[in-house]
Structure formats: structure tokens, C-alpha cells
Amino acid sequence: MNDEQTFADTIAKDQRVEPRDWMPEAYRRTMIRQVAQHAHSEIIGMQPEGEWITRAPSLRRKAILLAKVQDEAGHGLYLYSAAETLGADRGDLTRRLIEGRQKYSSIFNYPTLSFADVGVIGWLVDGAAICNQVPLCRSSYGPYGRAMIRICKEESFHQRQGYELLMTMMGGTPAQREMVQDAVDRWWWPSLMMFGPPDDQSPNSAQSMAWKIKRHSNDELRQRFVDMSVPQAEALGVTLPDPELSWNAERGHYDFGTPDWDELKRVISGDGPCNAQRIAHRRKADEDGAWVREAAAAHAARKAGTRS
């Protein structure tokens, strides 16, 4: 078998493509694109909730939030390592992010206005992330699929802490309940947009599904997320801000309204409420950390010199 046949055979048999294996250049480029975007999302995703660490209402909430934000840093680093197995350079990926040449998830361009947002991010944003990422555990590229297993376990804890926070607030004062409802109203539609454009406007889906990088389409996963979230909203006692939401017995799924796809396009192209702030913060962190990278590289070079 030649290289191309071996690759096709690996995919057909549902086996993993590993870093040492031959792969088509387009497969490598697609994997780097998705893994890098995913890593950038985790790193930029630390910012919206990170803003609340110093303002958490109790020591317990602060400890939980700190642990969650640290987990996201870990996911980002883990994913950059997966991208490196494809030949990508971590510094180059960061430069591309800062220069706006690579994307990160639209969801992290919305502001966190109250502590209820921390709970809603856990419930809805981590919930959507899990829905999207559980099938990615079976993604055809080995290092990415294996990274997803650990990441999904941690995201499940994140979702539970968010839901528990919201349950606590819903059992509190009318003002606390209003804060939760307000946060749900603001985050519901952007959470649905996390799954990407509708299938008929998703240029990458067909090839990514043929290569078994993606296992389900954007719309399939969005539907799964809606079906999962409606009973959770009922148990919580909040209203999801969609008048078209209703159970469709024939389909066995909830019908729901259409997200504002123009808004998604605007946010992806850099014109969301917080895009400039998020990138400016990331740029500053990169500049502030430059001396550490330089010192580490100098130390490594000196050690290598001593050994030889």
C-alpha cells in the first residue's frame, strides 16, 4: 500500500492517525487550524471569568473559580502541545492569534456583567463545549482525541459547578434570581453560536467529517445542546429567551428559533463587544512574559553547551 492508501485505510477502519504517520497536507493544515483555534479559545476563555476571581462572593467560590480558570490554562497548553506534534510552532501560533490571523471561539467576546455570568458560563458555555467535544474524543488524529478525553472530564466538573452556583442563586433573593435570568438572556444565543454556522454555510464540515475529525455536523450538535438544556432550565426555574422553543413530538426534539447569524459573522470577524479588549490583554500578557521565555531559552542553550 502507498502512503495515501494507508491513510485512507486508517480512516476507514476508525483507527488513529499518529504524528509519525504520513498524512495529506490538507489534513495536517485542517488539524492545525482546528487545534490552534481550540487552544486559543481556552486561553482567551480565561479572561471573561478571570475578571471575577478578585470579586468572588466567598472564599469557596473563589477557590472553585481559580481552579476552573487554571484548568482552562492547562487545556490551552495541552492543545498547543497537540498542535506541535503536527509541526506547528507555539510562538508562531500565538503571533497569529494576536495579529488576528487565527480565530478563537466567538463566545469569549461577550462581557461578564455579574457573578451570575460565572454560573451561566459554567452551565451553558461549558455545556456547549462538552456537547461539541465528547464526539471529538473519537477524532481521527490521535493526540487531539486523547487530549479531549481529559479535557471533557474537567469540563464536566466546570459545568456542574456552574449549575450548582445557579441553583444556589435561584434559591436566594428575588434580586439574585433576576441576575440569573438576565445572564441566561444574554448568554443563550451566543452559546448556540458556539457550534458554528448552519450546516449549509459551513465550508469545512464535509471534508472534516469525511476525515472523521468531526463526527457530527454543527446543526446536529446544536440540536443536541438545546434538547439537553431545556429540562435543565426548567429544573433551575429560568426561562430560555426563545419564544419559538417548543417540543416537537414528531421529530422527538425541541424546535427552536434561528440565531442571529449576522451577529456571529460580525463577532468572528473581530467586531464583537470585547474582541479588542481580549486581544489587547493577550498581547500584553505575551509581551510581559517575553523575558521568561528568553531566560528559559538562554538557560537551555547554556545547559546544552555544558553537556557537549
Residues in contact with ligand FAQ by CB under 6 A are 33-34, 37-38, 41-42, 45, 72, 103, 105-106, 121, 125-126, 129, 132, 193-197, 202-205, 208, 214, 218, 268
Q: Which residues of 10-25 are buried (b: 16+ CB within 10 A; e: fewer)?
A: bbeeeebbeeeeebee
Q: Which is nearer to ligand FAQ, 48 or 177 (CB)?
A: 48
Q: Which is nearer to ligand FAQ, 35 or 180 (CB)?
A: 35
Q: Which is nearer to ligand FAQ, 265 or 283 (CB)?
A: 265
Q: How far is the CB of 103 from ligand FAQ (least distance, A)?
A: 4
C-beta separation of 259 from 244 below 8 A: no
Q: Which is nearer to ligand FAQ, 7 or 259 (CB)?
A: 259
Q: How far is the CB of 64 from ligand FAQ (least distance, A)?
A: 14
Q: Which is nearer to ligand FAQ, 45 or 254 (CB)?
A: 45
Q: How far is the CB of 36 from ligand FAQ (least distance, A)?
A: 9
> Could you tell me the three cell numbers for 284?
500584553
Q: How far is the CB of 291 from ligand FAQ (least distance, A)?
A: 27
Full DSSP string of 137-173: GG-SBHHHHHHHHHHHHHHHHHHHHHHHHHHHHHTS-
Q: Cα(74)–Cα(141) distance, rounded to whole angstroms? A: 20
Q: Cα(276)–Cα(281) distance, rounded to whole angstroms? A: 9
Q: How far is the CB of 294 from ligand FAQ (least distance, A)?
A: 29
Q: Which is nearer to ligand FAQ, 182 or 263 (CB)?
A: 263
Q: Which is nearer to ligand FAQ, 128 or 177 (CB)?
A: 128
Q: How far is the CB of 290 from ligand FAQ (least distance, A)?
A: 25
Q: How far is the CB of 242 from ligand FAQ (least distance, A)?
A: 18
Comparing every residue's Cβ against ligand FAQ, the nearest one is: 45
Full DSSP string of 239-259: --S-TT-EEETTTTEEE----
Neighbours of 183 (CB within 10 A): 25
Q: Cα(61)–Cα(53) distance, rounded to whole angstroms? A: 9
> Could you tell me the three cell numbers for 41?
479559545
Q: Cα(251)–Cα(268) distance, rounded to whole angstroms? A: 32
